[in-house]
């Protein structure tokens, strides 16, 4: 499947979206670059995500699919596998495409069922990609790393990320305000941020007295802010994946999606999930809950999130007291 390194001088790695998937592709970029150490590596993605790979030690150029049209590459590795990325890669001397679904999972997707977990091996999305592509775990491990962006905007502050693309994956707003109140009652400074589509939840937190940043921040601006956070608590979202890739102590709240597949990897990450039999009910949270109450998120308590935070941080104050005040 892989051409000889002597035949490869220019490599393009394609992953157009979304934010979380672009971040999760980073270990694969390291693995491919290690396979072709003498090659120039270009990462092809949509313009808003360029900041994530500009300055990456193994990436020589970051571009869009349109801007790179007609460019010559000895090898294209297509991690998106859409009709437009396949067509774009056709002119390369060698092409490698990652198919995230086998036949059974493709049938399941048509029936709106989540992908099956991997038995006997890591179920994490990054591990799936490396295994399917017959690539070894790269130096630095499976955790995504975005290290070239730096900032100290939130020094000594915790960051809350209450938004997310799918409403089904969002912890209830009342829990976020209670969590913010619990932290502030113990003297911990918190601020909330989000992206497009998160305006309502950010406005509600602002009305409750929580400082917020506008949802119009670019990915580069958001990353610069997150890089200085003392710790981060967020829903399963692209910004939360970015926070973890920046090395921030990160607590991720999971509901309808599978923790084993989507959780950021690293010792600086903790996940909170009720582990119900009905979850996962979808791959990305796009499927509405069939129950009257979202048991996975509506019944997940502030105390559970605080407990995960307490195991991750060495901050002063009693986690038990914070949880008691939160409830």
Tens-digit pLDDT profile for residues 131-164: 999 999 999 999 999 986 655 566 679 999 999 9
Domain count, the chain: 2
Q: Is residue 151 part of a domain?
A: no
pLDDT for residue 320? 47
Tens-digit pLDDT profile for residues 202-228: 999 999 999 999 999 999 999 989 998
Tens-digit pLDDT profile for residues 242-297: 999 999 999 999 999 999 999 999 999 999 999 998 899 988 887 788 777 889 99
The parent domain of residue 290 ranges over 158-326
Average pLDDT on 102-114 reads 84
Query: In this model, does residue 106 exceed pLDDT 90?
Result: no
Average pLDDT on 43-64 reads 96
Average pLDDT on 90-111 reads 89
Q: Is residue 25 part of a domain?
A: yes
- Residue 150 or residue 118, greater confidence: 118
Q: Is residue 168 part of a domain?
A: yes
Q: Is residue 145 part of a domain?
A: no
d(CA 149, CA 145): 10
Q: Is residue 143 part of a domain?
A: no
Q: Is residue 186 part of a domain?
A: yes
Quick one: tokens of 117? 């977990």
Average pLDDT on 230-248 reads 96
Average pLDDT on 62-79 reads 94
Question: Using an 8 Å Cβ cutoff, are 123 and 261 in contact?
Answer: yes
Query: In this model, does residue 196 exceed pLDDT 60?
Result: yes
Identify the CATH number of the domain in which residue 178 sits: 3.40.50.2000
Q: Is residue 312 part of a domain?
A: yes
Query: In this model, does residue 317 exceed pLDDT 50?
Result: no
- Percentage of the residues of the chain whose pLDDT score is greater than 90: 76
- Percentage of the residues of the chain whose pLDDT score is greater than 70: 93
Residue 99 sits in the same domain as residue 163: no
pLDDT class for 322, splitting at 50, 70, 90?
A: very low
Domain boundary among 93, 116, 132: 132
pLDDT for residue 282? 84
Arithmetic mean of pLDDT over the chain: 91
Query: In this model, does residue 318 exceed pLDDT 50?
Result: no
pLDDT class for 91, splitting at 50, 70, 90?
A: confident
pLDDT for residue 103? 87
Residue 102 sits in the same domain as residue 193: no
Domain boundary among 132, 166, 198: 132
């Amino acid at each position: 499947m892989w051409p000889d390194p002597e035949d490869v001088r220019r490599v393009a790695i394609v992953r157009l979206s979304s934010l979380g998937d672009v971040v999760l592709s980073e270990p694969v970029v390291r693995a491919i670059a290690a396979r072709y150490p003498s090659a120039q590596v270009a990462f092809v993605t949509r313009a808003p995500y360029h900041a994530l790979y500009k300055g990456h030690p193994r990436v020589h150029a970051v571009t869009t699919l349109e801007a790179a049209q007609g460019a010559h590459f000895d090898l294209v590795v297509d991690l998106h596998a859409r009709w437009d990325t396949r067509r774009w890669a056709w002119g390369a001397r060698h092409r490698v495409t990652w198919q995230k679904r086998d036949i059974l999972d493709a049938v399941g997707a048509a029936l709106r069922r989540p992908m099956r977990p991997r038995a006997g091996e890591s179920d994490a999305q990054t591990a799936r990609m490396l295994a399917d592509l017959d690539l070894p775990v790269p130096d630095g491990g499976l955790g995504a790393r975005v290290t070239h962006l730096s900032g100290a905007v939130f020094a000594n502050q915790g960051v809350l990320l209450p938004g997310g693309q799918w409403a089904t994956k969002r912890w209830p707003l009342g829990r976020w305000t209670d969590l913010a109140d619990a932290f502030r009652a113990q003297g911990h400074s918190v601020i909330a941020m989000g992206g497009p589509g998160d305006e309502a939840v950010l406005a509600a937190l602002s009305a409750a007295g929580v400082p917020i940043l506008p949802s119009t921040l670019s990915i580069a601006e958001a990353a610069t802010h997150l890089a200085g956070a003392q710790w981060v608590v967020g829903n399963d979202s692209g910004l939360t994946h970015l926070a973890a890739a920046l090395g921030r102590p990160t607590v991720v709240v999971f509901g309808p999606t599978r923790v084993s597949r989507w959780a950021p990897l690293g010792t600086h990450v903790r996940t909170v999930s009720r582990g119900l039999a009905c979850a996962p009910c979808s791959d990305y949270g796009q499927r509405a809950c069939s129950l009257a109450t979202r048991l996975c998120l509506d019944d997940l308590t502030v105390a559970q999130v605080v407990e995960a935070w307490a195991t991750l941080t060495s901050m002063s104050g009693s986690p038990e007291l914070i949880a008691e005040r939160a409830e």
